[in-house]
Amino acid sequence: MSTTRYGESLRERWDAGCYICVGLDSTITGVPQVLSYAAPAQRQLLFNKAIIDATFDEACAYKLNLGFYIEHEEGILALVETVKAIHHRAPGMLVILDGKFGDIGNTSASYARFAFDVVDADAVTVSPYVGYDGIAPFIERSDRGVFVLSRTSNPGAKEFQALETGSEGKVPLYSAVASAVANSWNSHGNCGLVVGATAIAELRAVRDVAPDLPILVPGVGAQGGDLVSSVQVGRDAHGGVIVNVSRAIIFASDGPDFDMAARQALGDMNRAVRDAI
């Protein structure tokens, strides 16, 4: 992370007690009625810009999930323009494109160009199933970050991620992934891990095998994960944890005050975290 273009800013956010990443899961159906006059892509963009303006001084990072921007025409444009707006409003702020990319060779190189050059994201999420060489085109962009799925936040995450592996049969897959990323994949110093807030024991276990990697923790709020525990357990020695909260911030109000409600929600969460740690 030391070599990434967002590393220094992120460290400053942590030092200031900001651990919350605002997840811009700005689904068309979720965007408040007050913006319904605009066409779908425009509606997402206007919504995002208002949320960014209201939260950037209290946010640790922003995360955009590709799935919410690909569904309708011009969605990619809304995605690109949103990232541009974040970079303009808050230079240095970490912007994560959550694409869970996991293809091979040529194709991964194409996704990397999309994520880092077209969208201009600072970091991506990737799925480890294909192995290192499939993810290398992302990792080789050493000024950008790569967060590798270790333990996801969904109810059925255990199906494969908890399978015991190894000669002793005692290393669950999510932990084998975390070890590989920490000890082998991270030669450029730009890797991180994804571990869900719904799996606090696993988050603690991953911290043990990867003490120094930044961890992105989704699953707080609507999915049931606890914010304060996530920060307490997820922080490394340097305070490195990024806890994503989406709906509980961006959809805190569905009225015309949605942006101020988002600001209030983020502020309240930040205070709760600072009081606890």
Binders of a copy of itself among residues 236 to 255 (CB under 8 A) are none
Angstrom CA distances, 100 to 111, 155, 182, 196, stand at 11, 18, 18, 14
- Our CB check for a copy of itself shows the closer of 157 and 216 to be 157
Is residue 187 part of the contact set for a copy of itself (CB under 8 A)? no
Check residue 149 for interaction with a copy of itself (CB under 8 A): yes
Using CB under 8 A, pick the residue from 7, 32, 134, 225 that binds a copy of itself: 134
> Considering the rule CB under 8 A, would residue 224 count as an interface residue with a copy of itself?
no
The answer to whether residue 165 forms part of the interface with a copy of itself (CB under 8 A) is yes
Residues 5-64 that bind a copy of itself (CB under 8 A): 25, 27
In angstroms, what is the minimal distance from the CB of 178 to a copy of itself?
12
**Residue 100 designated active-site:** yes
Q: Out of 3, 110, 183, 187, point to the residue binding a copy of itself (CB under 8 A).
A: 110
User: Where do we find the tokens 């970490």?
Assistant: 94
Q: For every residue of the chain, which 3-state class applies, written as one string?
A: CCCCCCHHHHHHHHHCCCCEEEECCCCCCCCCHHHCCCCHHHHHHHHHHHHHHHHCCCCCEEEEEHHHCCCCCCHHHHHHHHHHHHHHHCCCCEEEEEEEECCCHHHHHHHHHHHHHHCCCCEEEECCCCCHHHHHHHHCCCCCEEEEEEECCCCCCHHHHCCEECCCCCEEHHHHHHHHHHHHHCCCCCEEEEECCCCHHHHHHHHHHCCCCCEEECCECCCCECHHHHHHHHCCCCCCEEEEECHHHHCCCCCCCHHHHHHHHHHHHHHHHHHHC
Kindly tell me which residue out of 106, 201, 208, 237 binds a copy of itself, with binding defined by CB under 8 A: 106
Chain centroid to CA 219:
11
Among 53, 103, 120, 236, interactor with a copy of itself by CB under 8 A: 103
Closest separation in Å from C-beta 140 to a copy of itself: 14
Nearer to a copy of itself, 18 or 41 (CB): 41
Number of residues lying near a copy of itself (CB under 8 A): 55
* Residue 158 binds a copy of itself, judged by CB under 8 A: yes
Choosing from 49, 63, 84, 100, which is the catalytic residue? 100
Window contacting a copy of itself (CB under 8 A); options: 39-47, 53-61, 146-154, 225-233? 146-154
CB of 248 to a copy of itself, least distance (A): 14
- What does DSSP say about strands 145-151 and 94-101: parallel, antiparallel, or unpaired? unpaired
Examine residue 175 and tell whether it contacts a copy of itself (CB under 8 A).
no
* Gap between the Cα atoms of 217 and 242, Å rounded: 6
**Where does this chain bind a copy of itself (CB under 8 A)?**
25, 27, 65, 67-68, 70-73, 76-77, 100-108, 110-111, 113-114, 118, 127-134, 149, 152-161, 163-167, 169, 173, 176-177, 180, 223
Q: Which residues are catalytically annotated?
A: 100
